[in-house]
Amino acid sequence: MMLHSASIKIASLRGLLLALLAASLLAACGTSAPIKRQSTGSILYEPQPISEKGNEIALYAMGMIDTGYQFGGKNPEAGLDCSGMVSYIYRQALNMNVSGSAADIARLGKEIDPRTLRPGDLVFFNTMNRPFSHVGVYIGDGRFIHAPSSKGKVRIARMDNVYFAPRFEMARTYFD
C-alpha cells in the first residue's frame, strides 16, 4: 500500500512539474522585445502569434520527456526515435498524419524563417552527415524536444547548443 501511495505522489509531482514547465514556456512566448542574432551566431526568436494547435503539440511533446529511445520506434511503450516521436505526437495531439523519416517529414509543411518559430513547429538537423537526419518539436524560448539515440531518452535541448547550432538546417510549420 505504501508503494502505491508513493507512485501516486510521484505521478502527481511529475504532472505538477510538467504544468509549471508548460506555463513558463507559454509565458516566454508572449514577450515583445526586439530580437537580433547573437554574436555566437545562434538564433534569437521574434515573438509570434500563438497557435493553439502548436501549443497542443508542444504540451503533448513535454509529456514524452524521459520516454526511452528505440531506433525505428513509433510508440512510447516500445520506445521512440526522432521521427517516430514526431509522428506519434502529431497523431495523438491533433489526429494529424505527419509520418516517415525525418527527411520525409522535412518535405512536408511550410518552410519558415527560424526566427519565427512557434511552439509545435518542427526543427531539422544534419546529425549523420546527411540532410534532415534528425527532427525535434520546438517548444519555445530556443528549446526543442527530441528523441536522441545518445543517452537513450526523449529530452529537451537548446537550439544554441554547441552540438545542434551548427547542424541546424530548417524549420517547418504545419499550422495556420
Per residue in 5-61, pLDDT (tens digit) is 434 433 443 444 444 444 444 433 333 333 333 333 466 667 777 889 999 999 999
Per residue in 135-155, pLDDT (tens digit) is 999 999 999 999 998 878 999
138 vs 2: which has the higher pLDDT:
138
State the pLDDT at residue 46: 75
What is the C-alpha to C-alpha distance for residues 23 and 88, in angstroms, rounded to an integer?
23
Pairing of strands 134-140, 122-125: antiparallel
Q: Which of 53, 118, 134, 143 is catalytic?
A: 134
State the pLDDT at residue 145: 98
HSE of 50, CA atoms in CB hemisphere, 13 A: 12
Residue 67 carries which DSSP code?
P
- Count of domains for the chain: 1
Q: Which of 82, 89, 93, 171 is catalytic?
A: 82
Is the CB of residue 82 less than 8 Å from the CB of residue 125? no
* pLDDT at 106 > cutoff 50: yes
Is 4 designated active site? Answer: no
Domain that holds residue 30: 2-173
**Total H helices, total E strands in the chain:** 4, 8
Residue 58 belongs to domain with CATH number? 3.90.1720.10
State the pLDDT at residue 47: 73
What is the C-alpha to C-alpha distance for residues 124 and 141, in angstroms, rounded to an integer?
17
Residue 173's beta-bridge partner residues?
Answer: 110
Is 146 designated active site? Answer: yes
